[in-house]
Structure 1
Amino acid sequence: MSSISIRKAVLSDLETLLELEQGVIKAERPLDPFLGKGELNYYNIPEMISNKNTHLLVAIVNNEVVASGYVRVENSKIYHKNVKHGYIGFMFVKENFRGQRISNLILDSLKNWAKENSLKELRLDVYSNNTGAIKAYERFGFTKSLVNMRTEI
């Protein structure tokens, strides 16, 4: 197995990060009939790289960006015990590099950054029918909370 390193994303990673974003969208299209048609973008990646309240990471194998993930500082609802929390997103590993626990390395780094920034809680959203991702997040220590429901009218 090749050596895996985790580092903060930089603007020169933008082209690859845009490809990873399309990988996320491709993976989620079959899970979400409410996604729009054609090319979509979920993220403003240059803003994420420069925003001090967002920590966007990439995983590197043999000088190739193979995975991504971020944590963003968000305000919690006024009735939650933690005033702020870290929101995890853009978790994606290129298909050829899956099964090496790269997402865990990214999540560990994101968790450490969140702790260094005095956050006490991490949250994320995952499709209820994305069983592989749910299992991976549960192995990391996440537990299911609310279920978001919708219907087309």
Structure 2
Amino acid sequence: MVTTRKAILEDLPILLDFEQELIKAERPFDSTFKEGKISYYNIEKMIASDEVELIVAEENNEIIASGYASIFIPKSYFKFSKFAYLGFMYTKPSRRGRGINKLVVEALFNWVRSQDIDEVRLDVYDSNYGAIKAYEKVGFQRHLLKMRMTLE
């Protein structure tokens, strides 16, 4: 049985590994990453923050997935006063396809609702079809395509 819970500091080593696996999986989608080891998050700070809910999924006392929701204040032209941003969505490859991401997202949604927030956003690479499909399965809709270029 898979369960979810709030991450604790003792989870830090496995979460740091998850972060590197996530970066490894996303490197092919982003040519702007630096070479070598990089980091997306300050996971220790996220665990301690009241503005972030970092969730892990466990099966047989093994952490198999993660995700976070963070509270943001939007620009003044939006009709909502706060929104939640989801990130660090990672499931071990051997556990994918079993609805574990959905369990993590549902746990995050519960926390977001408890903060009186109803707007939730995330970013996904436009060619990461597997991630897009997973997010659409839990109700996300495509909204904005971010574009970039390098002037040489």
TM-score normalised by L of structure 2: 0.98
Within 5 Å, which residues of 2 pair with 1:31-70? 31-70=29-68
1:61-107 superposed Cα distances (whole Å, 9 cap, x missing partner): 11111110000000111111111000000000011111111000000
Q: Please report how far the alpha carbon of residue 115 of structure 1 lies from its aligned counterpart in structure 2 after TM superposition.
A: 0.5
Aligned position for 1:12 = 10
* Matches of 2:74 and 2:140, distance apart in 1: 17
For the residue of structure 2 that corresponds to 1:119, the secondary structure is coil
Task: Please state if 1:95 is matched with 2:93.
Answer: yes
Report percent identity of matched pairs.
46
* Matches of 1:75 and 1:91, distance apart in 2: 21
Aligned position for 1:127 = 125
Aligned position for 1:108 = 106
For the residue of structure 2 that corresponds to 1:22, the secondary structure is helix
In structure 2, stretches of 5+ residues that fail to align are none
* Matches of 1:21 and 1:131, distance apart in 2: 20
| Match for residue 77 of structure 2 among 73, 76, 79 | 79
TM-score normalised by L of structure 1: 0.97
Q: Please report how far the alpha carbon of residue 120 of structure 1 lies from its aligned counterpart in structure 2 after TM superposition.
A: 1.2
* Over 2 Å off, 4+ runs: none
**Which one-letter code corresponds to 1:20 in the other structure?**
F
1:91-142 superposed Cα distances (whole Å, 9 cap, x missing partner): 0001111111100000001001100110011000000000111011111111
Aligned residues: CA RMSD: 0.6
For the residue of structure 2 that corresponds to 1:147, the secondary structure is coil
